[in-house]
Structures are given as C-alpha cells and as structure tokens.
C-alpha cells in the first residue's frame, strides 16, 4: 500500500505545573497508507490526541517531520492542510440548518449555490441523512448529529480524515452500529481515516491497523488480530482485551510441547519452539482459550459474571496463585464452588520472552 502520511521522529513537549517538561510525543514514527483505517489506541495521557492535533496542525511539533502525499506539513497552518477533523463534540451551528452546516466550508470558499447544494445532498446521502437537510441540529438524535459532523468533514474531499473519539457520547447499541458504518463509509470514500479511542472494542472492530501508545511512544503497530493474539509486551497484552498472564519456568521439553510451571505450581503446556529447560517466560492465554473439562488445571469456581453474549467464570487454581478468567463456551457454566479442570490448546499460548 502506497504511503499517504509519513511521520518521523515526532516530538512534542509541554511544561508541567511543577515547572518540569513532559514529552507528550517522544520520537513517534508512523506511516499511514492511502484508504487505510488506522486507530490510535491507549490510556489517557498516552499522546494519541496530541498526535492527532499535530497532524491537523493544532499542535506544533518541537522536533520531527510530517509529510502528506509528499507535501511537508510541518510548518503549514491547519487551514492549508488537506485534512479534516471530526471532534468528540460535534461543534455544529445550532442556528443553521443541517444542509448549511454541512456546506458552510463551501459557502465560505465561494462555491456557487447550485454546486454547493448538489455536493451537500451527495454528502448527506453518503452518511444516511438524505432528505434531512432542512432540519436543525437540535431536532436530531445524537447519532444523526454525529453523521452531520461526518458529512461536513467529507464534503471538502480531504486526503485524510481525523476522528477524535467521535462515538464516545453515544449509547452502546448506537456506538456499535456506527462502528460498522464508519468502516463501510471509509472504504467507500477511499479516504484514509485516523481514529483516536481508548476503547479496545472500537479499535478491534474498525481498524486495518492499530497503533498502541503509552507515555508518548508507540508500543506496537499491527492488525487487530496480530495485536490481540501476538502482543509485543505485557502492557499491550493487558491493555487489549481480557487476558491471563502466567510467569512460568520451563520444566520439560518433549517434541512440540514444553511444560511450564508457575511459582505456585500451576502447570501449562506451551509451544516448544525456542524453549529450553530452566527458561523463565510469561505465557498469555485469553479467557476464550480455556475450556471446562475433566483434564487440565484443577481449580474451583469462585464466581460467574453474566454479560449477555458471554459468561465469564473465575476459577481459583487448586495450586494457588491469581484467579483465572474463562469465557464459558456455548453458555456452559459451572456453579459457584464447583470443582473444575481448565484445558487449553498449547498452540493458543502466546509466549513473552523474559525482559
């Protein structure tokens, strides 16, 4: 995929209230392809919004460069960049109609009314608001106002669209619906999207690639499947979805299977490739990687948590150590206090090397 946006060694510092300096961006390198949906994901304060604002021109880098389609953005003001932003607060003009909100940038640019009306109608149709141009923002639902903000952002046909947590104010069902609609819209428009969120589900649902950030740096870049199944380090493993971490020492290696044991005596089977007896590693198993059966790790059910589509079971291993989180398959749970065994496929284990 051809590179659209190229960011190199981006750094942005702020002065703290105590008089120190905080690097919100600390040497960030990132490439975004044309028609790619990239999500910046991380906890509050990780630098994702600062990076988005730097791309849009609302933050000026202290060091580093940004190029869009070969154009050096570093010194360009926001209004000169072929980039539009959809903010968390939609910032619609309440006294204007939907159509005028969407076409306002064209109006300011002096585009004729006939052409402007045609482009507004096209943009509203793309976001599912055909025929609603005469309404005002106060007459719309939250999801509809979000679509108006999207239409306003895409009408100028930017090369890159930036989205700063635009779904956070929506209820869960509407947010899930809009996640799928955003991805479909992005693909049909052929515009690259950079989406900021702290919601792992949003990132996994919509993204071509996820950029996991922490303390101004990028921890890992990869497809949703790669990030989820092959986290680079403990931070990524714990931040992306539910997970069980087992610090183990390799006790035995035979064929394709290695046996690891925690300090409490919990035994796990691992892929043998690259493993050696006495090695200390961290084994990662997602809750769905375990099955309840008659063999495996013995333990006792301490509680169940019903989440509609999922049933989480917490199991205290008989040998000791932290509880293990399990997603029961086919709704097959176990009563609190029941003795169970947790089986797992060794090939589902992801192994982190010792730091």
Per-residue pLDDT tens for 89-142? Answer: 777 888 999 999 999 888 888 889 999 999 999 989 888 888 889 999 889 888
Rounded to 5 degrees, φ, ψ at 175 are -60, -45
Q: Which domains does the chain have, with CATH numbers?
A: 3-239 (3.40.50.300), 244-353 (2.40.50.140)
Please state the rounded mean pLDDT for residues 15-24.
87
Is the pLDDT at 34 greater than 60, yes or no? yes
Grade residue 172 by pLDDT with cuts at 50, 70 and 90: confident
Q: How far apart are CA 267 and CA 29, in angstroms?
A: 40
pLDDT of 355 reads 57
pLDDT of 333 reads 67
Q: How far apart are CA 48 and CA 54, in angstroms?
A: 10
Please state the rounded mean pLDDT for residues 268-291.
93
Q: How far apart are CA 28 and CA 218, in angstroms?
A: 7
Q: How far apart are CA 340 and CA 290, in angstroms?
A: 12
Virtual torsion, Cα 60, 64, 67, 73, nearest 10 deg: 20
């Amino acid at each position: 995929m051809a590179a659209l946006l190229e960011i190199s060694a981006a750094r942005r510092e702020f002065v703290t209230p105590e008089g120190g300096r905080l690097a919100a961006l600390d040497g960030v390198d990132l490439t975004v392809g044309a028609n790619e949906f990239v999500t910046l994901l991380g906890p509050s304060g990780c630098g994702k919004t600062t990076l988005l604002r730097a791309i849009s021109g609302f933050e000026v880098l202290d060091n580093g460069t940004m190029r869009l389609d070969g154009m050096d953005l570093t010194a360009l003001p926001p209004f000169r960049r072929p980039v539009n932003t959809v903010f968390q607060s939609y910032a619609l003009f309440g006294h204007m109609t939907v159509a005028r909100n969407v076409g306002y940038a064209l109006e300011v640019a002096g585009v004729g009314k006939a052409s402007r009306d045609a482009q507004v109608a096209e943009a509203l149709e793309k976001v599912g608001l055909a025929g609603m141009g005469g309404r005002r923002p106060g007459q719309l639902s939250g999801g509809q106002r979000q679509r108006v903000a999207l239409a306003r952002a895409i009408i100028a046909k930017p090369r890159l669209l930036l989205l700063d947590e635009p779904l956070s104010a929506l209820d869960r069902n509407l947010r899930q619906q809009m996640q799928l609609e955003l991805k479909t819209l992005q693909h049909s428009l052929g515009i690259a999207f950079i989406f900021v969120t702290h919601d792992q589900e949003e990132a996994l649902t919509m993204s071509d690639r996820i950029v996991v950030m922490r303390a101004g740096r990028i921890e890992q870049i990869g497809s949703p499947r790669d990030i989820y199944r092959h986290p680079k380090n403990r931070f990524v493993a714990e931040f992306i979805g539910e997970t069980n971490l087992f610090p183990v020492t390799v006790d035995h290696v035979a064929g394709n299977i290695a046996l690891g044991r925690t300090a409490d005596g919990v035994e796990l089977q691992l892929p043998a490739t690259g493993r050696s007896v006495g090695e200390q590693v961290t084994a990662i198993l997602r809750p769905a990687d375990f099955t309840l059966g008659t063999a495996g790790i013995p333990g006792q059910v301490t509680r169940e948590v019903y989440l509609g589509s999922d049933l989480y079971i917490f199991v205290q291993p008989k040998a000791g150590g932290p509880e293990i989180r399990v997603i029961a398959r086919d709704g097959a749970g176990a009563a609190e206090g029941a003795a169970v065994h947790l089986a797992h496929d060794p090939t589902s284990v992801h192994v982190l090397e010792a730091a």
